[in-house]
């Protein structure tokens, strides 16, 4: 007899997509208990910035007129007018550790390692019952031997075997093996309302669902190596493409003096591919790199990690089946050259996580789950197309086709375009989502640069109560709440004060979404938070000048000082320019009204008077409170 | 029989000064083993910025013409042109935790809690023998009961008893009690070469040495409270002074929605003082605050911590006796109003720590230890004077002397001056040290704003190898090394290239300090690191254009990419303006030569040709290598 446990959501796989989805469970699980915590976004940015290498510039190298390698162009990677954050490069294991810590900081949610799923059943007759557990999964705890990674980790001198891709650093192994030590071989049955499969390119979950994974594997073998280079190549600490007669080398600087190389190793015919891959050694990669960087010296003694791979470009034909969703490599694979694999996977988890969490808790309608495939499949397809465009820039397609190949590898205009698209992807700005119940394409003419479906462009604004300057990304904490962002305009003007006063009076009324959907016993802002960003200078207004509904009073904690902000220049912070309204394309006097989804994507834009349409947005998303109560009482 | 152990340096007290001193032991102990690590400064800034409240503005409130409280002035606290870091406010316990973690990250150094010293002997006949252990201390491990803090900690609702000042948060208690649980009552004898007493205002160490602690206690009792305010006072999240007929209230915003109040409670006669102090309750503080903020509403439900204190202004007559040094509250006490107690103590520990560490290891001459009292006593005296100037601005000296009192509390010009001096203290810019073996007052006319004895004014500069922009404070890692900062000027000019080439040739010669003082088997930069900051644009020079001595080659790790920097504008980082040379007052073409002590204070300034005088500086500090070897072989 095996033990049976019940859970709202089961996530299989604890890589970047699984952990991001788990983060939402941790936040939304606790959401109804404590919603006033002001953790910035998911609270890991400072750790990334501290440990990562920030890549500031990229350069193109190629043969000069004399055939010798020569720097051809150099560009900054980071446009401070578009994003506050630069291009940070850091070991995936560290990112996973930061998300794990963020989960631990806000919940008791358990992330188990060394456990595998062995069977999956789904009772389709139960799928339309909100509080049913239609999914049954059998889990088995691996023995210590099965779970123990056989590779040796690098650091100074050691070399990890490249064929096992393991991103966990030694500090985390104990954690990984804990469950195996405590109860090896244990078998457990889990009943779940929802399941998210984040179990990688060879996804067991996807296979159980018989979802086709369409695409093909290209005919090139690539090498990747993280090492501390010994070289006189002058741009070794910059992102570089080095075009040579042997193909194009991609150089990416990393933390701890490491540099990552991507290099094309050889063309293969499809039958012998996997055999060839295993025969490749670290020394073959070293020799190829030496050859490509010649006449510069190149070698290394310290290697942290290396692997050999073939590019498989595949896309799952569907991302969802009933109450089961797939995310990350389980639904899309592509080459790692654009450096977007982990980012794409995290975005998948970031997209599906809050939706499933809110639906499983009975707060949101199950219909919003259909937006997951709608939004992420288009993005995945775009990434695979981008990867296809990158390919010819890195390998000579055929030795015989020398003319075309040389053209491609020297055509920096094209490479530049493709690289800039990669950067936009990495910044998340290519994630513009189509119309759906979560994205209402309205509000034309109100805010030229606030586009429903896209992310809210970050600007630095000043807190009205204390004068501090914060990026808007930090204001919009990822805590599972929707946000009404009231761009209140210039409140020094009587007519504008009147408009905002009318809006606030609506918020306080029984018809407002705050009042209608507030769960019994919870605070007014537990599902939807109102954030005001006005355009008058901070010193022209008092905190107490703002309507009380915009700075909700709490019996224990007084007024909410973190709700009122000003798009005001801050002369001791050069990044806070007071030009947010212009950046967003919003009139400084009349302002605008914006709904942000929990993931910071814009759901709707309108004028301050458009309260009916604003309310209509939420009506399509939230369950009516009666239903919420019923679901809870049945659980 | 008790066990006897030997240690180079024993530190008594693990508050801010003791931990800062311990940090140097951790870094310098490991210094000869691994000196190429690039941890920024002490590596805790990102954690402080993440958790702290940054106070952006301060305001003066006082009675208006109608006698009602009214805002009179508002000023920014932070001048971005002077310091990259704003005024951060955070619980002392968190700061201590960050330093403890930094110590753990770079060493196995043990910080024991729950252990007290019971006897101290010093054999003066051994003090002049470099490798002797003249100090004998008996330590006893407290029982769990003795070590267990009896106060209850706050959080949401609980109130810590104010009379026990304990900054450790609950998470850290286990750590604190570990030793007590393992071996309660254990008695141990420790023999040490050096001792640093950081055991607070009632310092046991100071008493053993019979060092007078001169000064007096003033006649006012103050209350301090950390709480979450419920109020309509509009500037409650800004630093404020509120001048009233009942004295002046000081408001300091804090992390986690907390605000700290300092308020004058009553005048007392000296005989009944301590009795009165104990009789004061939290409710008396609450009532006084309500009275002072009237007609605004004020109350609180959540109190995190409170205490009552009298201001004692005392200064130890000497900071050093033989091989024993005192630091922190053990040598100076003053009111906490300037918010500088912890900063001053940390600076003490930061000053004495590296000196004792280098001397104890036989690297530096014992004569440098005399600079500790020279440098810190003047600073402590200045702080006590500042505190004396603050006092009349906060309390009415006598009810009868109404005229003078009103004048003081309304004279914001004066308060402004004093507050700005406080800020300069907090930023560390008031720590200009007098001439000594560690501060050579030379180089006049070379660098107008690089003054020997003061700190190197921080500017953002760009790494030549990767283009990243870093504050100079982060370049100058606190790892126990001195630094030669070569402000190399404009290397596009042939004459300047020649000057720098000559300098580099000197560095490579047997006469250079790098070669002469290098310990056997260690790297060239193990005691002194050379950092180059030139003034040409990054893209006009190649990394390989710089002399090899400025970017030392390592057999395992290749060239040192973190040694060459450019004072170049970075257009994707608005803080990196390319105006460092102007800020330092250095000619952009000819440059300058600077010696930085391990604590980032400037030791010497000269021209690039002044290698003899540069060498002379180090000759007064370092032991000759022969002596180092002898000391080690005797140990």
pLDDT (tens digit, 9 = 90+) per residue, B200-247? 988 999 999 999 999 987 767 889 999 999 999 999 999 999 999 888
Name the helix (H) or strand (E) containing A387.
Answer: helix A371-394
**With an 8 Å Cβ cutoff, is A555 touching chain B?**
yes
pLDDT on residue B174: 53
Q: Where would I find the H helices in B133-272? A: 144-147, 173-182, 204-208
Query: What does the pLDDT look like over A223-268, one tens digit per residue?
Result: 999 999 999 999 999 999 999 988 899 999 998 899 999 998 876 5
Extended strands (E) in B47-162: 53-55, 57-63, 69-76, 87-89, 115-122, 135-141
**With an 8 Å Cβ cutoff, is B37 touching chain A?**
no
Is A168's pLDDT higher than 50? Answer: no
Q: How many other CB atoms are there within 10 angstroms of residue A541's CB atom?
A: 19
Task: Report residue B130 CA to chain centroid gap.
Answer: 28
Q: Kindly report the CA angle at A608 between A605 and A610, in degrees rounded to 5?
A: 70
Nearest-angstrom CA–CA distance, A113 and A142: 9
Instruction: Say if CB A12 and CB A117 are below 8 A apart.
Output: yes
Q: Where would I find the H helices in B570-624? A: 580-584, 611-619
Backbone conformation region of residue B400, classed left if phi is above 0, alpha if psi is from -120 to 50, else beta? alpha
- Name, in order, each residue with C-beta under 8 angstroms of A20's C-beta and a sequence gap of 6 or more: A99, A345, A346, A347, A348, A349, A350, A353
**With an 8 Å Cβ cutoff, is B228 touching chain A?**
yes
Nearest-angstrom CA–CA distance, A488 and A500: 7
Give how far A177 is from chain B: nearest CA, Å.
Answer: 24
Determine which of B40, B42, B56 to mutate to test the interface with A (most A C-beta atoms within 10 Å).
B56
User: DSSP 3-state assignment of A146?
Assistant: helix
Closest-CA residue to B592 (of B608, B580, B576): B608
Q: How many other CB atoms are there within 10 angstroms of residue A575's CB atom?
A: 14
pLDDT on residue B265: 85
Least confident of A176-180, A569-573, B554-558: A176-180
Nearest-angstrom CA–CA distance, A34 and A49: 28
**With an 8 Å Cβ cutoff, is B112 touching chain A?**
no
Closest-CA residue to A593 (of A617, A579, A612, A609): A609
Per-residue tokens: A179: 């469950």
A172: exposed, middle or buried (Cβ count in 10 Å: 0-12, 13-18, 19+) = middle
DSSP state of B337: G
Which range, A346-360, B38-52, B400-414, is most confident? A346-360
Least confident of A100-109, A155-164, A267-276, A311-320: A155-164
A498: exposed, middle or buried (Cβ count in 10 Å: 0-12, 13-18, 19+) = exposed
**With an 8 Å Cβ cutoff, is B429 touching chain A?**
no
- Taking CB atoms and an 8 Å limit, are A234 and B558 in contact across chains? no
- Taking CB atoms and an 8 Å limit, are A543 and B56 in contact across chains? no
Nearest-angstrom CA–CA distance, B115 and B176: 10
Residues B56-78, buried b or exposed e (16+ Cβ, 10 A)?
bbbbbbbbeeeeebebeebebbb
User: DSSP 3-state assignment of A212?
Assistant: coil
Chains A, B: CB pairs < 8 Å: 126
Using pLDDT thresholds of 50, 70 and 90, give the confidence band for residue A150. Answer: very low
- Taking CB atoms and an 8 Å limit, are B574 and A574 in contact across chains? yes
Is B614's pLDDT higher than 60? Answer: yes
Q: How many other CB atoms are there within 10 angstroms of residue A548's CB atom?
A: 12
How does the average pLDDT of chain A come out, rounded?
A: 83
Q: In this complex, which of A79, A301, A570 lies closest to B572 when CB atoms are compared?
A: A79
- Taking CB atoms and an 8 Å limit, are B56 and A571 in contact across chains? no
Closest-CA residue to B388 (of B345, B348, B335, B346): B335
Q: Output the CA–CA distances (angstroms, integers) from residue B352 to A112, A501, B197, in the order listed.
A: 47, 60, 11
Is B545's pLDDT higher than 80? Answer: yes
- Taking CB atoms and an 8 Å limit, are A539 and B74 in contact across chains? yes
The DSSP code sequence of B346-360 is: HHHHHHHHHHHHHHH
Give how far A165 is from chain B: nearest CA, Å.
Answer: 25
CA atoms within 13 A on the CB side of B224: 19
pLDDT on residue B396: 57
Is B520's pLDDT higher than 80? Answer: yes
Instruction: Say if CB A257 and CB A228 are below 8 A apart.
Output: yes
Q: Output the CA–CA distances (angstroms, integers) from residue A580 to A482, A566, A585, A587, in the order listed.
A: 21, 9, 8, 11
Extended strands (E) in A276-403: 298-316, 320-321, 324-326, 332-333
Nearest-angstrom CA–CA distance, B459 and B477: 15
Determine which of B45, B155, B237 to mutate to test the interface with A (most A C-beta atoms within 10 Å).
B237
Query: What does the pLDDT look like over A70-116, one tens digit per residue?
Result: 999 888 887 777 777 777 788 888 888 888 888 888 787 878 877 88
- Taking CB atoms and an 8 Å limit, are A557 and B467 in contact across chains? no
**With an 8 Å Cβ cutoff, is A238 touching chain B?**
yes
- Taking CB atoms and an 8 Å limit, are A572 and B467 in contact across chains? no
How does the average pLDDT of chain B come out, rounded?
A: 83
Q: Kindly report the CA angle at A372 between A623 and A26, in degrees rounded to 5?
A: 65
pLDDT on residue A315: 95
Q: In this complex, which of A46, A78, A229 lies closest to B572 when CB atoms are compared?
A: A78
Using pLDDT thresholds of 50, 70 and 90, give the confidence band for residue B383. Answer: confident
Give how far A151 is from chain B: nearest CA, Å.
Answer: 23
Interface of B with A in 159-188 (CB under 8 A): none
Nearest-angstrom CA–CA distance, B322 and B194: 9
Q: Which residue of A has its CA nearest to B45?
A: A50
Is B171's pLDDT higher than 50? Answer: no
pTM of the model: 0.86
Residues A51-84, buried b or exposed e (16+ Cβ, 10 A)?
bbbbbbbbbbbbbeeeeebebeebebbbeeeebe
User: Percent of chain B having pLDDT more than 90?
Assistant: 52
**With an 8 Å Cβ cutoff, is B239 touching chain A?**
no
- Name, in order, each residue with C-beta under 8 angstroms of A590's C-beta and a sequence gap of 6 or more: A489, A496, A499, A607, A608
Using pLDDT thresholds of 50, 70 and 90, give the confidence band for residue B541. Answer: very high
Query: What does the pLDDT look like over B53-108, one tens digit per residue?
Result: 888 888 999 999 998 999 998 888 877 777 777 777 888 888 888 888 888 887 87
Name the helix (H) or strand (E) containing A508.
Answer: helix A494-508
Determine which of A78, A171, A237, A562 to mutate to test the interface with B (most B C-beta atoms within 10 Å).
A237
Strands B187-197 and B324-326: parallel
Strands A115-122 and A135-141: antiparallel
State whether ipTM is beyond 0.85: no
Closest-CA residue to A623 (of A323, A439, A370, A362): A362
pLDDT on residue B596: 97
Per-residue tokens: B615: 């060498």
pLDDT on residue A413: 53
Q: List the end-to-end C-alpha distance of chain B, in Å, as a whole number.
A: 25
Q: Which residue of A has its CA nearest to B556?
A: A301
B237: exposed, middle or buried (Cβ count in 10 Å: 0-12, 13-18, 19+) = buried
Q: List the end-to-end C-alpha distance of chain A, in Å, as a whole number.
A: 25
Per-residue tokens: A132: 């049913």
Strands A298-316 and A115-122: unpaired
- Name, in order, each residue with C-beta under 8 angstroms of A451's C-beta and a sequence gap of 6 or more: A432, A602, A605
pLDDT on residue B390: 77
The DSSP code sequence of B474-490 is: HHS--SS-EEEEEEEE-
Is B346's pLDDT higher than 60? Answer: yes
Using pLDDT thresholds of 50, 70 and 90, give the confidence band for residue A388. Answer: confident
pLDDT on residue B160: 36
Find chain B residues with C-beta within 8 A of A48's C-beta: none
- Taking CB atoms and an 8 Å limit, are B55 and A466 in contact across chains? yes
Helix (DSSP H) and strand (DSSP E) numbers for chain A: 18, 25
Q: Output the CA–CA distances (angstroms, integers) from residue B66 to A317, A469, B62, B72, in the order listed.
A: 75, 34, 11, 13
Nearest-angstrom CA–CA distance, B617 and B608: 15
Query: What does the pLDDT look like over A192-206, one tens digit per residue?
Result: 999 999 999 889 999
Find chain A residues with C-beta within 8 A of B559's C-beta: 231-232
Name the helix (H) or strand (E) containing A18.
Answer: helix A16-29
């Amino acid at each position: 007899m095996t033990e049976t446990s019940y859970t709202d959501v089961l996530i299989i796989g604890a890589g970047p997509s699984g952990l991001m989805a788990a983060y939402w469970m941790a936040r939304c699980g606790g959401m109804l208990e404590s919603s006033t915590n002001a953790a910035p976004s998911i609270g890991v940015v400072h750790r990334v910035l501290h440990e990562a290498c920030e890549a500031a510039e990229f350069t193109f190298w190629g043969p000069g007129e004399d055939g010798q390698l020569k720097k051809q162009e150099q560009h900054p990677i980071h446009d401070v007018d578009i994003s506050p954050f630069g291009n940070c490069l850091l070991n995936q294991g560290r990112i996973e550790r930061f998300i794990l810590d963020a989960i631990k900081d806000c919940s008791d949610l358990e992330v188990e390692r060394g456990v595998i799923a062995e069977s999956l059943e789904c009772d389709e007759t139960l799928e339309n019952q909100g509080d049913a557990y239609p999914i049954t999964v059998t889990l088995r705890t691996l023995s210590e031997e099965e779970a123990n990674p056989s590779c040796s980790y690098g650091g100074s001198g050691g070399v990890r075997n490249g064929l096992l891709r393991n991103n966990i650093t030694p500090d985390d192994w104990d954690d990984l093996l804990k469950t195996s030590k405590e109860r090896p071989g244990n078998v457990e049955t889990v009943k779940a309302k929802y399941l998210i499969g984040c179990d990688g390119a060879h996804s067991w979950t996807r296979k159980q669902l018989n979802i086709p994974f369409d695409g093909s594997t290209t005919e090139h073998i690539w090498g990747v190596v993280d090492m501390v280079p010994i070289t006189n190549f002058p741009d070794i600490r910059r992102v570089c493409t080095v075009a040579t007669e042997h193909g194009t080398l991609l150089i990416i600087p990393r933390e701890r003096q490491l540099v990552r190389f991507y290099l094309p190793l050889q063309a293969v015919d499809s039958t012998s591919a996997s055999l060839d891959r295993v025969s490749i050694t670290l020394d073959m990669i070293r020799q190829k790199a030496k050859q490509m960087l010649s006449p510069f010296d190149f070698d290394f003694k310290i290697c942290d990690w290396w692997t050999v791979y073939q590019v498989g470009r595949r896309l799952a034909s569907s991302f969802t089946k009933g109450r089961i969703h797939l995310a990350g490599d389980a639904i899309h694979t592509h080459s790692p050259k654009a450096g977007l694999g982990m980012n794409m996977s995290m975005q998948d988890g970031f997209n599906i996580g809050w939706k499933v969490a809110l639906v499983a808790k009975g707060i949101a309608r199950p219909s919003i789950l259909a937006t997951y495939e709608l939004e992420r499949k288009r993005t995945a397809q775009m990434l695979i197309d981008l990867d296809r465009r990158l390919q010819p820039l890195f390998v000579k397609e055929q030795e015989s086709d020398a003319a075309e190949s040389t053209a491609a590898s020297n055509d920096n205009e094209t490479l530049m375009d493709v690289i800039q698209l990669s950067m936009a992807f990495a910044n998340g700005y290519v994630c513009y989502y189509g119309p759906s119940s979560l994205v209402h394409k309205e509000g034309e003419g109100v805010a030229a640069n606030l586009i429903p479906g896209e992310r809210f462009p970050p600007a630095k604004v000043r807190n009205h109560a204390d004068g501090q300057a914060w990026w808007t990304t930090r204001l919009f904490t990822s805590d599972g709440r929707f946000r009404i962002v009231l761009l209140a305009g210039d409140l020094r003007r009587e007519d504008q004060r009147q408009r905002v006063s009318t809006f606030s009076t609506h918020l306080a009324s029984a018809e407002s979404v705050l009042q209608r959907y507030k769960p019994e016993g919870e605070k007014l802002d537990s599902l939807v938070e109102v954030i005001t960003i006005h355009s008058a200078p901070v010193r022209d207004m008092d905190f107490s000048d703002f309507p009380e509904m915009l700075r909700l009073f709490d019996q224990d904690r007084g007024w909410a000082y973190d709700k009122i902000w000003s798009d005001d220049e801050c002369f001791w912070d050069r990044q806070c320019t007071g030009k947010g309204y212009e950046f967003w394309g919003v009139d400084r006097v009349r302002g605008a009204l914006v709904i942000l989804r929990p993931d910071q994507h814009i759901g709707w834009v309108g004028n301050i008077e458009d309260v009916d349409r604003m309310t209509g947005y939420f009506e399509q998303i939230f369950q009516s409170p009666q239903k919420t109560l019923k679901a809870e009482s049945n659980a």
